[in-house]
Amino acid sequence: MENFIVGYPSTESAFRSALARELGARRSEVLLASLLEAFFGDKDAAFLAAIGVNSVRIPLNYRHFEDDLAPRELKPDGFAHLDRALTACRRHGLYAVLDLHSLPGAQNHHWHSDNRVHRPLLWEHRDFQDRAVGIWVALATRYKDEPWVAGYNLVNEPADEQRHRLGAFYRRLATEIRSVDPRHVLFLDGNRYARDFECFGEPLPNAVYAVHQYPAPGALPGEGYPGVTAGRYYDANAVAAEFDQMTAFMRANGVPTWVGELGPVYTADAKTNAGRRQLLADQLRLYNERGVSWSLWTYKDIGVQGLLRVGEGTPWMRRTVEARRKKQRLGADSWAGDTSQMEDVMGPLLTRLQNEFPRWDPYPFGPSSQANLLVRHMLFAEPLTEEFAKAFSGASEEELVELGRSFEFSSCRIDEALADVLHEACTQQGPALAN
C-alpha cells in the first residue's frame, strides 16, 4: 500500500503498527486481510481484461513474506494473497509482473518504499541485501513454472547515492534468481527512482529496463497542460524529449524499455483534469508509437489517481473522513498533498535553511524535498497516523470485515473518462498494463 491509495498518513508499516495498538494484533489483521482480499479479485481482473489491459503489475511489500524480528522465516499468508491475485489474473488472461515495491532496509528515501526513516539502508547493510535475495529466490522458486507470471520487477524505484551499488545488486539478484528460474523476464528500474540508467554497465540478458515517467504538469500546480509548469513549457513534444533523455541507455544498447509507472494526479477542477487526461493520452500514444510497453499507476484508490475510486458512502470513507481532512490540511502526503496551509511552517524553515546552508543539495531532489520529507511527511504524519488508526476504534469484527470490503469492485466508481483514454490506447497496440 502507498498512503494516498487507502488514505493513511506516513508509511504502511507505521499504519499497521498504529492499527495493531488500537485494535489489537488479531483484529487489525481481520481488517487488513479483508482489505487485501477486496482490493483485487475476479471482478477487477475481468474489468481490466474487458477494456483491453493484458497485464497487471502487482506491488509487494517484503513484510508480507517475512518479519523483521524473524528474518528468513517465510510467512505463508503473503504467498496466499499473491496466489489469489494470480488466480484471478490467470482466469481472465492477464499476465502479472511481480514488483518488489518495498525491500528490507528500504531501497529509497521515501514513504512509498515503506521507509519510516529517510535513509535507504538497503545499500548500507549486507544483511538487508541478503534477505532481499532470499525473498526473490523464494518467489522465483514458487512461480518458475507459472506461465501467467510475465516476470520479476526486482527493485521498485531504487535510489543509490553512490550509483555503483545498484548495478552490482542487480547482477547478484539475477545470478541467484537464474539458479532456480532461468526463463522469466527481469524488469530493472533505473536509479534515482527509475530515471537514471547511466550507472548501468553491460546489459543483463533476458532483461527489460524500466523507466517511470511523471511529467510535472501531471502532479504540480501550473498553467495546465499544455502550458508552463515549474518554469518549463510542456506539450507532447516536451514529453517526448523528456522520455528520449530518460531512455538513452536503452536505445544505445539495443535493449527493451518498459514504462513501469505513469499517471497524473486528478483534482476537483474539471479543466485541470481534462488537461491531465490529455497528458496521459499523449504519453500513451508516444509509447505505443515507439513500441514500448507501459503500466498505469494506479488501478484503484480513494480518489487521487485511480481508474477505480472507492465510493464516498462506504464504511471506510465514512469512518476516516475527519482524519483525511486533517491530513489534507497538514499536507502530510507527499503525493497529491496540499502544501498551502503549511506555508507558515515550511516557508520560514526553508528560508532559514537556504540562508544557513546555501550549498546544501541533498540527494535525490534537493533541499525543499528533504525538508518536506522530514517535517510534513514524517514529523506531522507520525502523530496523525495514530489519529487515523483511532478512526477504527470500537468497530466490531463484522464491521472490520465490511470496512475492508469498501475496496471491492462493486463499492467503487469507475472513472469513465480515464477508462476511455486507456481503452483507446489499448486498442492502438497490445502492451497495456495496470498496477
Please confirm, yes or no, whether 157 is among the known catalytic residues. Answer: yes
Residue 78: strand, helix, or coil: helix
CB 160 within 8 A of CB 135: no
Determine the pLDDT at residue 251: 96
pLDDT digits (tens, 9 = 90+) for 155-169: 999 999 999 999 999
Determine the pLDDT at residue 38: 98
Q: How many CB atoms lie under 10 A from the CB of residue 249? A: 18
Angle between helices 397-404 and 25-39 (to 10 degrees): 30
Using the 8-state DSSP alphabet, how is residue 264 labeled? P
What is d(CA 61, CA 82) in angstroms, rounded to the nearest whole number? Answer: 11
What lies within 8 Å, CB to CB, of 24 at 6+ separation is none
Q: How many CB atoms lie under 10 A from the CB of residue 129? A: 21
What lies within 8 Å, CB to CB, of 273 at 6+ separation is 266, 267, 417
Cell of residue 270, nine digits: 474539471
**Region label for 385, one of left (φ > 0), alpha (ψ between -120 and 50) or beta (otherwise):** alpha
User: Virtual CA dihedral for 125, 131, 134, 138, nearest 10 degrees?
Assistant: -150
Please confirm, yes or no, whether 261 is among the known catalytic residues. Answer: yes
pLDDT digits (tens, 9 = 90+) for 58-109: 999 999 999 999 999 999 999 999 999 999 999 999 999 999 999 999 999 9
Tell me the CATH number for domain 12-316+409-434: 3.20.20.80
Determine the pLDDT at residue 435: 56
CB 46 within 8 A of CB 413: no
pLDDT tens sequence for the chain (435 residues): 999 999 999 999 999 999 999 999 999 999 999 999 999 999 999 999 999 999 999 999 999 999 999 999 999 999 999 999 999 999 999 999 999 999 999 999 999 999 999 999 999 999 999 999 999 999 999 999 999 999 999 999 999 999 999 999 999 999 999 999 999 999 999 999 999 998 898 999 999 999 999 999 999 999 999 999 999 999 999 999 999 999 999 999 999 999 999 999 999 999 999 999 999 999 999 999 999 999 999 999 999 999 999 999 999 999 999 999 999 999 999 888 888 899 999 999 999 999 999 999 999 999 999 999 999 999 999 999 999 999 999 999 999 999 999 999 999 999 999 999 999 999 885 444 545
What is d(CA 427, CA 9) in angstroms, rounded to the nearest whole number? Answer: 37
Determine the pLDDT at residue 293: 95
Determine the pLDDT at residue 229: 96
Q: What are the domain boundaries of the chain?
A: 12-316+409-434
Task: Please give the backbone phi and psi of residue 288, each rounded to the nearest 5 degrees, phi first.
Answer: -65, -40
Side chain identity at residue 182, one-letter code: P
The secondary structure of 313-381 as a DSSP string is TSHHHHHHHHHHHHHHHHT--STT---GGGHHHHHHHHHHHHHH-TT---TTT-HHHHHHHHIIIIIIH
CB 167 within 8 A of CB 123: no
Catalytic residue among 12, 22, 37, 261: 261
Catalytic residue among 157, 386, 402, 408: 157
Exposure letters 399-433 (e unless 16+ CB within 10 A, then b): ebbbbbbbbbbebbeebeebeebbeebbeebebbb
Provide the pairing of β-strand 308-310 with 412-414.
Answer: antiparallel
* Cis? peptide before 362, omega within 30° of 0: no
